[in-house]
Structures are given as structure tokens and as C-alpha cells.
Structure 1
Amino acid sequence: MRIDFDPAQVSRNDFYRLLTATVVPRPIAWVSTTSADGTDNLAPHSFFTISSVTPPIVQFTSVGRKDSLRNVEATGAFVVNLAPEPLAAQINATATDFPPSVSEFDAVGIAREPSLRVKPPRVAASPVALECELHSTLCLGDSTVVFGRVVHAVVDESVLTDGHPEITAMRPLARLGKNEWGTFGGVLDIARVPYGNRQG
């Protein structure tokens, strides 16, 4: 038996919990930004994906008007840092609602490294970083989708195999429902079958 859920008949928070428990796993954009007055911000955003390949554009969604969004609007730049399993405690700590004047890098004790093409710093211990310039934003209800053009990417050589990022070395975290996080598990290697090669 299936149970029906009408978003018009349940509370916003209840339907939010339903969505985040069923749209899983969600990759985490650990977004670093710098405010107009020079304060570095760092926060995880689990509404994150690729938007375009040419040009390379990624997107994350700010539910409400968070510091990441305000800083990107003010400065036009951000960095998406990969959220790896060994840094789970620090990633979760940067989700705390620190006031805008407090840098999560400093409050949590996370080392920075300078970016090459944008002002916001990268997370030094993250194996992958995508430096982005703001492409556009799109307001949808209580949220804002931020699109960033990737102007530079950096990958630590320790997670590269034959020049390609290796999932078993990166060990990315994912968000699930409630307070649940997903860690790296098994991989199914299944190649696509061209139509002409289909059997039956």
C-alpha cells in the first residue's frame, strides 16, 4: 500500500524532511566565500550538482538567505571544495549558524590555501576544489539557486589514478535524511550499451 503526501496539506518542514529523505544521496558542496569586508565563510550545501559542461557550470542552492549566498552576490565568486569523509566533523561544524562576522575557517580550525583565480580561499585539506565566478542566480520560492562558472579546478595528486580522480581515494561524503550522512560504499561499474549493441 502506498501512502499519499500532498505538499499543500502538510507543513513546509514535514515536506522538506520527506524530500531530503528520498532525494538521496546528495553530494555536498563545501562552499567557501569571502564577504565584501573580507571575512571568509565556509558552509556545506547538499543541494548541489553540475549544470553545464560547456561552459563548465556548477550549482548549489541556498535555502533561505545564508552567508554563502550574500557573499556570492556581493563579490561574484566562490569555491566548491570536495567534502571528504576524514573531515566529516569539521564539515558538520561549519554548518553551525555562526554570525556573518565570524569565519568558520577560524572558528573550526580549518586551514586555508589561496585560490588561483578567485578571492575566496580553498580548504587546504580538501582533495578537490572548483574555483567559480558567479554566472547567475535564480530565485525559487524560499530558495536561491547559485550558478557558478568553473574558472579553475585543482585536484590533489594523491587522489588521481592515471590522471583521473579516483572515487576510492576521494571518499566523498553525501547527505541523506534527518541527521544522516552517507559514506563511501561499493561501486557498480556498469557501461552504457549503445542501441546497436542491444541484445533482444
Structure 2
Amino acid sequence: MHYTYQDIMELDRIDRLKIINSITGIKPANLIGTLDKDKTTNLAVFSSVIHLGSKPPLLGFIARPRSVDSGHTLRNIEEMRVYTINHIHPYFTKEAHYTSAKFNPSISEFDRCGFSEEYIEAFEAPFVKESVVKIGLRLKELIPIPLNGTTLVIGEIAHLVMPDTAMEYGDMDLEQLRSTGISGLNSYYELKKIAQYPYVRAEEVPDFDKIKISE
């Protein structure tokens, strides 16, 4: 199977969305929690959260074009300057997925989809109580992407909440935390740790044979 740019652009809209959203591989599954000035909360599923740096601790995610941002996540972040990112776990992937519905702005996805709000003192944005890993962020920068009307939202971590047992031998064990991943628009995956290697220094790289691909 070989698609050219023209082939991709001529695909049915949903087929194109599913293919292009899947070819990057498994992406982190998160719920982003926000609220507006009237204190109405909002919750939306995202698979575009990325690490941007650790000093300062920055995370980014891509917000859809404003014309289709029915969840009002971007608007709320602009207004309140705070938001949360919460890992999705296997026992609530269905509820998390349905936060993507186009609800009326007056309806909170927390209530409609069965989630509980949780708060940290002096931090207004709602966390997902059911999540094991929760991150509270303060907005640092919004970078418009003119090519497709999306926005890169950059936040600085103000709060990081996770179990005492989350770190194993200096690394976060996402399998033990049962964090999930997303492929495409609607497929959810559990993560399985398959290996752990040391920090790489050029002089310590082994001599490798050519990788053999099974027929």
C-alpha cells in the first residue's frame, strides 16, 4: 500500500483522519481539565501531549482550530491561564472517550461522563480524581500554527501528583501505573514495558549486526 499526497487528500475525510492520526504510533492518552470564569468545568480527551523540556518543566499539546473546538478547552485556558493533564487508565477509557462529544458549553463533561473533580489549594483548575497521574499547569505561551489553524499550547508544570511507587530504578513505570495510549481517533491501548537501557554515551554503544527482518 502506497499513498501519495494526492491520494491522501482524496481519501474520505474520516478515513484520512484515522490513517494520519494512526501513523505516528501510540500516543499518550490524557484528559485535559479546565474551567471558565463562571466556574463551569470542562474535560476533553487529547492524544497530542508532548514533552518540551525539563528545566523549566514544560509540556505542550495541540488545540484544534477554534471553529471546531467544541470543548472550549483553548478558550478556558486563555481565560483562566491554568489547566490540568490527567492520565487515562484502562478502567475508564470509555468514559474518557465520550468527553469528545459536542456538549453544550453549560454542561460539564465531568458530570456527564461520570468523573469527579479534585482540587489543589490555590490552583483553580480541576483535576480528575480517578486518574493516578495528575499534572497541573500554568499557561506560558500560545503559538498559532497558520498551516492548519491549530495552536500549540505550552504550559509550565506547577503540580505533579502520582503514587510514591511510580518511579522504578529512576524511571517512571507507565505499565505499573496502567497509563493508556491512543491510536487514531478511537482505539485505546494498554502499555507494556519491553526493555530498559542505560543512558547512552557514544563510546559505550555496542557493535550491532544488521537487523534481520522476519519474512
The TM-score range, normalised by the shorter chain, is 0.7 to 0.9
Single out whichever of 181-190 and 148-157 deviates more from structure 2: 181-190
Secondary structure at the residue paired with 1:102?
A: coil
Single out whichever of 182-191 and 154-163 deviates more from structure 2: 154-163
Single out whichever of 181-190 and 20-29 deviates more from structure 2: 181-190
Relative distance call for 1:90 and 1:9 in structure 2 (3 A) is closer
Matching of residue 68 in structure 1 with residue 73 in structure 2? yes
Structure 2 gap ranges (5+): 208-215
* Cross-structure match for 1:106: 111
Distance 1:182 1:87 in 2: 12
Matching of residue 130 in structure 1 with residue 139 in structure 2? no
Single out whichever of 127-136 and 169-178 deviates more from structure 2: 169-178
Matching of residue 184 in structure 1 with residue 191 in structure 2? yes
Matching of residue 157 in structure 1 with residue 158 in structure 2? no
What's the offset of the Cα at 1:183?
1.5
Counterpart of 1:52, as a letter, is G
* Cross-structure match for 2:87: 82
* Cross-structure match for 1:55: 56
Relative distance call for 1:2 and 1:9 in structure 2 (3 A) is closer
* Cross-structure match for 2:10: 10
* TM-score, length basis structure 1: 0.88
Question: What number of residue pairs does the alignment pair up?
Answer: 200
Given that residues 9 and 16 in structure 2 are in contact (C-alpha distance below 8 angstroms), is that contact kept between their aligned partners in structure 1? no
| Superposition RMSD in Å | 2.4
Counterpart of 1:182, as a letter, is Y
What's the offset of the Cα at 1:32?
0.3
Given that residues 117 and 126 in structure 2 are in contact (C-alpha distance below 8 angstroms), is that contact kept between their aligned partners in structure 1? yes
What's the offset of the Cα at 1:5?
2.9
Among all aligned residue pairs of Structure 1 and Structure 2, give the percentage whose two residues are the same amino acid. Answer: 22
Relative distance call for 1:7 and 1:35 in structure 2 (3 A) is farther
Cα deviation 1:26-69 (Å, max 9, x = unaligned): 11231000111110111111111111211111111111222111
* TM-score, length basis structure 2: 0.82
* Cross-structure match for 1:41: 42
Secondary structure at the residue paired with 2:124?
A: coil
Distance 2:52 2:206 in 1: 33
What's the offset of the Cα at 1:159?
4.0
Secondary structure at the residue paired with 1:109?
A: coil
Bigger-Rg structure (1/2) = 2
Cα deviation 1:106-151 (Å, max 9, x = unaligned): 1122112112442011111111111101011111122111111111
Distance 1:177 1:197 in 2: 37
Structure 1 gap ranges (5+): none
Counterpart of 1:125, as a letter, is E
Given that residues 27 and 174 in structure 1 are in contact (C-alpha distance below 8 angstroms), is that contact kept between their aligned partners in structure 2? yes
